[in-house]
Structure 1
Amino acid sequence: MITTILLTLPLSLYRNIANLGKVSFSSLVLTIAILVIVVVKAATLGPHIPATEGAWVFAQPNAIQAVGVMAFAFICHHNSFLIYGSLEEPTINNWSRITHVSVLFALLISVVFAACGYGTFTGYTQGDIFENYCRNDNWATTGRFLFGITIVLTFPIECFVTREVIGNLFFAGTLSTIFHIVVTVCIVAAAMAISLAFDCLGIVLELNGVIGATPLVFIIPAACYLKLSEKSWYHWDSLQSCMILITGILVMIVGFVMTVMFPQECSHGKEMLYCMPSNSSIYNITVFFNGTVS
């Protein structure tokens, strides 16, 4: 609550999204630092954790929930117009270059995070990867701290978009200074209340993905294209849109049902089995004599 009041709220009160450029860049730098920690831990901690049975099966039944999580990770549709308008030279060529570079960079970071995280913990992997690291792991604690800062620095952009939508719907697109502050405080307070009610990040990302991100990424753009396009339904572009639309609907429905009925477990701060001193000794002895952990 103190962090929200002293850091998140002041940053969220900006009226121009361009002012958040340096804040977003700082968040990106911290994300890379966290990625370095995860990669290093994969190389040092990974060999001491036994792989679980069936760890490398191609897809488990809950893979559909991962689609929602990844959709949430890559969603940028809701703030695209605001960011486009904040460019010094808002041209289609600049926008195309920025979006392609940004999304490809995000893809690279996500793939490395996923590969190193799962490669380290396999079947033990939690919805929040930092739940997997031991309490006395100083590097992991540093990563948790940096991740908290990235959330503080990233939230204002999402708050800006939410406030903009509220302003367009209820205040004719213009918020006075008083209403700007009131709406911002309400948005930040609501997000803080929800965050205090949940301690498992995995299910939050899954629900955000299947309920919020999937419609914005898959359903709404495809539906709008089919509605506005003058091309025949059997044209390749129309068929692509139909496939994307159907995929989005299936992911949203199936993902929501599976998230609610079969939620992913979180350790909720408990020490994992391999963090126990006795188990760690057994693993180290096994590695010493056999060279690998089975």
Structure 2
Amino acid sequence: MKQNSILLTFVSIFSLYSVHLLLKTANEGGSLLYEQLGYKAFGLIGKLAASGSITMQNIGAMSSYLFIVKYELPLVIQALTNIEDKTGLWYLNGNYLVLLVSLVVILPLSLFRNLGYLGYTSGLSLLCMVFFLIVVICKKFQVPCPVEAALIINETINTTLTQPTALVPDLSHNVTENDSCRPHYFIFNSQTVYAVPILIFSFVCHPAVLPIYEELKDRSRRRMMNVSKISFFAMFLMYLLAALFGYLTFYEHVESELLHTYSSILGADILLLIVRLAVLMAVTLTVPVVIFPIRSSVTHLLCASKDFSWWRHSLITVSILAFTNLLVIFVPTIRDIFGFIGASAASMLIFILPSAFYIKLVKKEPMKSVQKIGALFFLLSGILVMTGSMALIVLDWVHNAPGGGH
């Protein structure tokens, strides 16, 4: 747990530093478009690198939202209908449900030409995140250690069966000493290789920084950095508290899907049902928002000189949504999406591209200056993080492949 907190701190600081590089480059390079900065710095290759990284990152974000729909919506329907056995029921199958939600809700909203509801969906998502965090913190003080609960229940059953009239002893003083109910500050296993890419993925907001900077009232680099510092601190605090209290509630029993852990331990809970509904609503309404920059980037690359066409607009939208649904259906876990996109596209957007653009476009600072040396070191660190993370993830996939000896 402690190493993840340290990693979270460093990734948030590095991300904020890359925003500083990006804003300074935008001022010197004379463009507030990420792709255009890439073109000015390295020509078509730079433009393709920026556009491709943004597209991959947004597809990864869409996939993560649809994964939530895939895993959480069946549980919500099951809880509302009180169905115990979901075998063979199509409306409790996550793959069918994610396709249905994509066709009925997401696709019609994504076909709009303008994004007028962006502010409402972003505000709703933030409120849902705050509500989720409050519930996670509250549950920490309501849920006993899972091992303690399990031992008490097992002892109660065994004692009742063997000695129906015997009193059940108080086991709490013994169970609290159990190692599984104590926090492990440093944990290293096969899943640790995904920690850095997932954290990098979670702090990518750089494609949106320049458009926000352009629309900022009384625009200045200092003002935008203040906005970035507040935003990054809020994200850091929410991520840290959610991870900390989630782990301290279940310790080694915590699953990669935190809401699933609550269900397996607590069973039916009306408050968790409300949380699930809120999260589902937020992510479903956010997917169309994420489609817009992907479609804009693809259109800008392929059809920049052509007039708007509803046929082309609709075809690109359907293709993006179909590809993302295929990822969600056939990729085993959301961890694989987070890991791969975090190690590749997110590393490009946070580490490599901002520092490379800064070194190339900011002419008034010599290469021997502290600023340029810092940017160069940041670039090399990004290349090391990307190659190292990708190599470890591929090795984990090969080592833990079905039939691969594990």
Where on the TM-score scale, by shorter chain, does this alignment land: which range?
0.7 to 0.9
- Distance apart, 1:199 and its partner CA: 4.7
- Distance apart, 1:55 and its partner CA: 4.8
| Alignment match, 1:164 | 296
List gaps (5 residues or longer) in structure 1: 264-294
**8 Å CA contact 1:211, 1:252 repeated in 2:** yes
Residues in 2 aligned to 1:73 and 1:188: alpha-carbon distance in whole angstroms: 21
List gaps (5 residues or longer) in structure 2: 1-98, 148-177, 398-406
TM-score by structure 2 length?
0.58
Does residue 96 of structure 2 align to residue 9 of structure 1? Answer: no
Does residue 181 of structure 2 align to residue 56 of structure 1? Answer: no
**8 Å CA contact 2:121, 2:285 repeated in 1:** yes
Does residue 336 of structure 2 align to residue 207 of structure 1? Answer: no
**8 Å CA contact 2:351, 2:382 repeated in 1:** yes
Matches within 5 A, 1:124-203: 124-135=253-264, 136-138=267-269, 139-172=271-304, 175-203=308-336
Which residue identity does 1:69 align to in structure 2?
I
Residues in 1 aligned to 2:284 and 2:218: alpha-carbon distance in whole angstroms: 28
**8 Å CA contact 2:194, 2:335 repeated in 1:** no
| Alignment match, 1:21 | 119
Structure number with bigger Rg? 2
The farther-off stretch of 239-248 and 133-142 is: 133-142
Which residue identity does 1:160 align to in structure 2?
F
Does residue 249 of structure 2 align to residue 120 of structure 1? Answer: yes
| Alignment match, 2:217 | 89
Matches within 5 A, 1:209-224: 209-224=342-357
When residues 30 and 112 of structure 1 are mapped into structure 2, their CA distance, relative to the original with a 3 A threshold, is same
What secondary structure is seen at the aligned counterpart in 1 of 2:117?
Answer: helix
**8 Å CA contact 2:340, 2:393 repeated in 1:** yes
When residues 168 and 113 of structure 1 are mapped into structure 2, their CA distance, relative to the original with a 3 A threshold, is same
Does residue 379 of structure 2 align to residue 245 of structure 1? Answer: yes
**8 Å CA contact 2:182, 2:251 repeated in 1:** no
- Distance apart, 1:24 and its partner CA: 1.1
**8 Å CA contact 2:206, 2:350 repeated in 1:** yes
1:211-231 alpha-carbon deviations (Å, 9 max, x no partner): 221111111111111222333
| Alignment match, 1:36 | 134
The farther-off stretch of 4-13 and 173-182 is: 173-182
Does residue 394 of structure 2 align to residue 260 of structure 1? Answer: yes
The farther-off stretch of 211-220 and 129-138 is: 129-138
- Distance apart, 1:105 and its partner CA: 1.4
What secondary structure is seen at the aligned counterpart in 2 of 1:134?
Answer: helix
1:109-150 alpha-carbon deviations (Å, 9 max, x no partner): 111111112222333333322232234242444433333322
Residues in 2 aligned to 1:237 and 1:59: alpha-carbon distance in whole angstroms: 36
**8 Å CA contact 2:145, 2:181 repeated in 1:** no
- Distance apart, 1:202 and its partner CA: 1.9
TM-score by structure 1 length?
0.78
1:79-99 alpha-carbon deviations (Å, 9 max, x no partner): 3334445x3737236544433
